[in-house]
Amino acid sequence: MVHECNESCVLYVLCACTIYPSCFAFTNQLIGFFSVLSSAISNHYDHTVGQIITMLSANITAFFLVSFLTRVVTVFSFSALTRPRIYDGIQHRSGTATPKLWAESSDDVNISTKSLGKVIFLLPNDCANIESRFGNRSPYGNPSILMAAEHMCRKMKWFSDDTIDAQIMIMENDQDMKTLEDNLIAADALLAFNIENEHQSSFLQRIFETRRMNMDKNLCHFAFDCGSELYPVCGPFDSASPSLSSSLVPWSFDATGKRIEEQMITLFNRWTSDDFVVALLVYFNQFRGEVGWVKHSIDATWEKGVVQNAKEFYGMATKCGPCIVKCLQDENCKACLDALTAIDTRDQVASYRTIVSYESELLKDFTLCILQKNNIFGCSSTIPELPKVKPMQTFRGSLLTQEVARRILIGHLNDEFALEGGQNIDTSWKVAAGANVAYDQFPSQNQIFYKAASGKDMWYDPVFRVETIDGRHVWCKRHYRVRDGPVPGTFFFSVLDNGVTSSEFWTIVDCADDLSHIVFHYAGAASAVGQRYLGGLLCTADGSLPTDRDHIYEKLRSAGIEPWELFVVDNSVDSIGAKQAGPPPLRYFREQLQRKRSVDKIS
């Protein structure tokens, strides 16, 4: 009989669970111990903790599902594996969000203290004429592989806070091959595209083989659309000759390399610039030094280690016990757990569809407690500082003021503060195309901007349609507070979304004098999950794409967005999904404010 139980006792059991997460034989041996331990914990700590352990004795796997419930918030993040400190001497300073910097200059500044390494994009000599696989859903079409690589070099700088160098090398027929070879062998990461010439393919094969001889350096290389079969390497893991430990010893260094490679391949297969860059960041974060964009993880991973995983489990159980118990006992909340374990939670779109399929107050309370209030996983993040984006300077022949900028946001809404020339409809703007791979692809995206009841603040209510994982079409709505930024045309947004607060910095990059279109850029962070993100929107009154887009494309490029990165939004009202979802709840939040205004006027 167990007479007393302290923190180390609980941690010991949780450590054991973490070491053997797939060993059901060992788990079954623990079941009897759990039933005894639950009584001790209930007496020594709190009844809710005892409830959790008791539930585990009946179904031990439920406890591990608790850790994966935190993946609810992966809508905010590409969940990256946490790096063991291999190179402790390498440090880097994450940028601190300074709105003044965004507004003052469009020139990139060096905000890093050290370089974590270099990535080289290797291209054939006719790369300017080779159509890439990027931009398949863009109104612009597919860019050349050279255009895509050039932009990924810029994004590597922005996403890494200028701590990772990126370079393009082109295989010319008359170049100094020895210099090229030395550079390719020395690169931390090497990505080769469209090397199909027989001579060049043989050269690349030799480069890959030479890099394999330096496995102790934890290099990384991949080949895309190349003529010969070239196996990738990621850190200590060589897919051409995998070690037994990479499959049989999950806590080994080789297994870490294998998991990172699999994650990178998943991201590469989406063929978006964001996913390619994030995949490279995951590699550098694991084997070269912390990269703020991907250094945090809210999942239980072998890379975190037994003790850290156990501490996180313990923190969830002791600080958010009631929320966990309620969620596991609720059929809808538990179903969300099961659905999340069936998908790749690194896919933010799939995760978000899952969340909205089972969205409830229990899920909100769970994430609010674990992530926002208690920050169990120790995450933090700041709004990205790069690229520097300038707001538009003039509107209708005059210098832009913040008051006019607010009215531009209101756009076409039937509102007393709307500008002349608007269409006086139920929405301010509709998104015609967006640049963020996770958040800007949903159909029927409506934007409603309006002034708050008092002061200069505003509200922003996005209402968008989602196809749930069980095939239903539903409307989702959010409620952002909007405050003035440091200069006209810039704004700070904040929202509590499924229990996690996101902070964003928006810039009006361009707006037609006749309000026929508007271009936004946004940079955001969800600190409680350690997530940072960038995006951009092209909006019109009805959500259709403007016919003349050359000027718009130039404005997008000035904000660091290539037109081939855009995803066209389906705003059709006659589609099956739109009809099934029914009328959008466009006035849900605004009506509450209007009632408040009416009461204030009467009083």
Q: pTM higher than 0.85 for the full model?
A: no
**Least confident segment among 89-93, 223-227, 309-313, 319-323:** 89-93
What CA–CA distance (Å, rounded) separates 308 from 557?
A: 43
| Model pLDDT, residue 353 | 74
| Model pLDDT, residue 1 | 39
CA 389 to chain CA mean position, Å: 20
What CA–CA distance (Å, rounded) separates 534 from 525?
A: 9
Average pLDDT of the residues in 334-348: 67
Q: What sections of 88-144 are H helices per DSSP?
A: 99-104
Tokens for 157? 């700088």
What CA–CA distance (Å, rounded) separates 555 from 510?
A: 7
As a whole-number percent, the residues of the chain with pLDDT over 70 amount to 78
73 pLDDT higher than 70: no
| Model pLDDT, residue 554 | 98
pLDDT, one tens digit per residue, over 86-111 is 222 322 323 333 232 333 333 444 45
CA 172 to chain CA mean position, Å: 37
283 pLDDT higher than 90: yes
**Least confident segment among 105-114, 446-455, 464-473:** 105-114
Domain with CATH 3.40.50 in the chain: 99-287
Average pLDDT of the residues in 580-603: 81
Q: Is 498 left (phi over 0), alpha (psi -120 to 50) or beta?
A: left
What CA–CA distance (Å, rounded) separates 443 from 571?
A: 6
| Model pLDDT, residue 102 | 31
Return phi, psi of residue 422, to 5°: -75, 165
Give 67 or 91, the one with higher predicted confidence: 67
Q: What is the DSSP string of 410-429?
A: HTTBS-TTPPTT---BS-SE
* DSSP H or E run through 463: strand 458-467
Give 111 or 124, the one with higher predicted confidence: 124
Please name the residue that has the structure tokens 């016919």.
Answer: 547
Average pLDDT of the residues in 52-75: 39
Average pLDDT of the residues in 43-47: 42
Kindly report the CATH class assigned to 394-602: mainly beta
Dihedral angle at the C-alpha atoms of 350, 356, 362, 368, nearest 10 degrees? 70
| Model pLDDT, residue 402 | 97
| Model pLDDT, residue 52 | 44
Positive or negative torsion for Cα 294, 298, 301, 304: positive
204 pLDDT higher than 90: yes
Residue 394 C-beta-side C-alpha neighbours within 13 Å: 3
Name the amino acid, one letter, at 294.
V
Domain with CATH 2.40.128.20 in the chain: 394-602
Average pLDDT of the residues in 350-362: 79
Average of per-residue pLDDT values in the chain: 82
What CATH code is assigned to 99-287? 3.40.50
Do residues 529 and 76 lie in contact, with contact meaning Cβ atoms separated by under 8 Å?
A: yes
| Model pLDDT, residue 583 | 94
| Model pLDDT, residue 498 | 85
**Least confident segment among 16-25, 374-383, 391-400:** 16-25
Q: pLDDT band for position 348 (50/70/90)?
A: low
